Structure 1
Amino acid sequence: MRIFSWPRRLGLHALSLVSPPACPVCQKPLPRQGLSILCARCRPSLAPRSLCLRCGRELPKLAGLANHQALSCRFCRPLHPKFQGIISLAPYQGTWREAVLTFKSQPQSDLTWQLAHKIRRMVERYFSWKTIHAIVPVPARQNRETHPAYRLALNLSSISRRPCLPVLAFTKKVLPQRGLTRGERLRNMRRTLISRQPLHGQTVLVVDDVMTTGATVQECARALKNAGAQAVFAALLAQGTLE
Structure 2
Amino acid sequence: MKEEIFKIINKIRDTIFPVFCIFCEKEGMAVCQNCLKEIESVPQFFCPVCYKDNLNGGSTCFFCQANSFLDGVMALGSYQEKKLRQAILEYKYNFKRNVFIVFEHLADDFLSKVSFHDIFIKKLNWLFVPVPLHRSRYWERGFNQAEELAKMLASRVGKEVGAGILKRVKKTSRQVGLGRTERIKNLAGGFIVEKELSGRDIILVDDVFTTGATLQECAKVLKQAGAGLIWSLTVARER
Instruction: Assess same fold via TM > 0.5.
Output: yes
Aligned to 1:146, the other structure's residue is in SS state coil
Pairwise mapping of residues 1-243 of structure 1 onto structure 2 (< 5 A)? Answer: 25-26=23-24, 29-30=32-33, 38-40=36-38, 42-43=39-40, 46-47=41-42, 51-52=45-46, 57=51, 59=53, 71-72=59-60, 77=64, 80-93=67-80, 94-104=82-92, 105-107=95-97, 109-118=100-109, 125-126=116-117, 127-141=120-134, 142-143=137-138, 146-166=143-163, 167-241=165-239
Gaps of 5+ in 2: 1-19, 27-31
State the distance in 2 between where 1:120 and 1:192 align. Answer: 32
Paired residues in the alignment total 204
Aligned equivalent of 2:6: none
CA contact (8 A) 1:137 1:208 kept: yes
State the distance in 1 between where 2:24 and 2:114 align. Answer: 27
State the distance in 2 between where 1:30 and 1:163 align. Answer: 30
Gaps of 5+ in 1: 1-21, 32-36, 61-66
Report how far residue 90 of structure 1 moved: 1.8
RMSD over aligned CA atoms reads 3.3
Aligned-pair identity in percent equals 29
State the distance in 2 between where 1:73 and 1:201 align. Answer: 22
State the distance in 2 between where 1:30 and 1:238 align. Answer: 21
TM-score (norm 1): 0.69
The code of the aligned residue for 2:73 comes to: I
The code of the aligned residue for 2:217 comes to: E
The code of the aligned residue for 2:174 comes to: P
TM-score (norm 2): 0.70
State the distance in 1 between where 2:56 and 2:194 align. Answer: 38
State the distance in 1 between where 2:33 and 2:159 align. Answer: 29
CA contact (8 A) 1:53 1:70 kept: yes
State the distance in 1 between where 2:235 and 2:201 align. Answer: 20
Report how far residue 111 of structure 1 moved: 3.6
State the distance in 1 between where 2:113 and 2:228 align. Answer: 21
Displaced runs of 4 or more, over 4 A = 53-56, 67-74, 118-124
State the distance in 2 between where 1:172 and 1:72 align. Answer: 28
Q: Larger helix proportion, structure 1 or 2?
A: 2
